[in-house]
Amino acid sequence: MRLLAISGSLRARSTNTAALDAVAALAPAGTTVTRYPGLGELPHFNPDLDGEAAEPPPAVAALRAEVAAADALVICSPEYAHGVPGSLKNALDWLVSCTDFPGKVVALLVVSPSAVFVHAALRETLQTMSAQVLDDPRLIVAMPRNRLDTAAMLADDALARALAAAIEPIAAALASSR
């Protein structure tokens, strides 16, 4: 199983990114979790660059290739001003016309359960893009108040177990859609 992990935060010490890296470190044999590194380098979405005759910008072509190669996506994002961070929404806008996107399993990993607006907004956008958005309590992993890096998440037994379990509903969704 190949998972593409997308963090909605560009912050170097992002909790959301650290959680995805912890999920990657905990992935069982046979599952690879690759974090998409290019969110901050994508050009601003412009429909003029996205027509059928248009050659997509290289960074966009690379994103679409990574999405096509993945069995499923895992998105973990902070909430900004009760919404989706602009850079993440920008990436999703570039994926609207990606022919490999409809039907794609997308897991929304939630590490700050109080941020309800971003998850509702992501769900609405992803469902509009015909993704198969997963809804499972194993995707909700509340972080302690003090900010942890990946190593600290892995060192916390309960947290590590919870982050490892986030893979399970994704594997189950892929198995049942085959």
Ligand X SMILES: Cc1cc2nc3c(=O)[nH]c(=O)nc-3n(C[C@H](O)[C@H](O)[C@H](O)COP(=O)(O)O)c2cc1C
Interface contacts to ligand X, rule CB under 6 A:
9, 11, 14-17, 78-82, 112, 114-115
Shortest Å distance, C-beta 15 to ligand X: 4
CB of 77 to ligand X, least distance (A): 8
What sign for the dihedral angle of Cα 12, 14, 16, 22? positive
Contact 16, 76 (CB under 8 A): yes
DSSP string, 53-68: TSPPPHHHHHHHHHHH
CB of 9 to ligand X, least distance (A): 3
Residue found by looking up tokens 């994508």 in the block: 42
95 or 118: CB nearest ligand X: 118
Question: Measured from the CB atom, is 21 or 79 closer to ligand X?
Answer: 79
Distance CA 150, CA 152 (A): 5
For ligand X, which is the closer residue by CB, 87 or 112?
A: 112
Closer to ligand X by CB, 16 or 150: give it: 16
